[in-house]
Amino acid sequence: MIKMVHSYWAYLVLALLIVSFVTALIGTMQNKRFTDKNLRIFLFTLITSHIQLIIGFIAYYLSAFYETMRAVGMGEIMKMKEARLLMVEHPLMMIIAIVLITIGWSKHKKQTTDKGKFKTIAIFYGIALLLVLSRIPWTQWFAQ
């Protein structure tokens, strides 16, 4: 059940992250005004990503791979491609991505210009988006 919630919530996070990045990129390039609507989009992305992190931690510790890791050790997990992706690479990249989203959110508040706010969000949310896309377990997503 928790794995299913984690998978479906991930679609929401990914969609919001894409919308946030594109919005920030357009805002930067077209010198748009930073509005309350933009603020809400970026904040909602931050909140949903943090919720996903909590769901992910729960799913991680309840997974069969976690039990396997405890039984065989981390050295053996690193030799198994799928297990390494799910137990090491995916969680690490997602944590880094959420840290970047959080830093971007915090740093944008210190910017004094609209362009500076958009640029900060675009940089941090954009890097986070790349990290997320690089370590999504695509084969499991498409198998659902």
- Mean pLDDT, each 10-residue run in order, the chain (144 residues): 89 97 98 97 98 95 85 90 89 97 97 97 98 87 62
The pLDDT value recorded for residue 122 is 98
The pLDDT value recorded for residue 140 is 72
The pLDDT value recorded for residue 21 is 98
The pLDDT value recorded for residue 143 is 63
If we measure between CA atoms, which residue out of 131, 125, 144, 130 comes closest to residue 26?
Answer: 125
Residue spans per domain, the chain:
2-143
The pLDDT value recorded for residue 139 is 75
The pLDDT value recorded for residue 141 is 65
Which residues, 6+ apart, have CB-to-CB distance to 26 below 8 Å? Answer: 32
Nearest-5° angle of CA 55, CA 61, CA 67?
Answer: 150
Instruction: Give the predicted TM-score (pTM) of the model.
Output: 0.92
H/E stretch holding 14 reads: helix 2-29
- Pairwise CA distance, residues 122 & 129, whole Å: 10
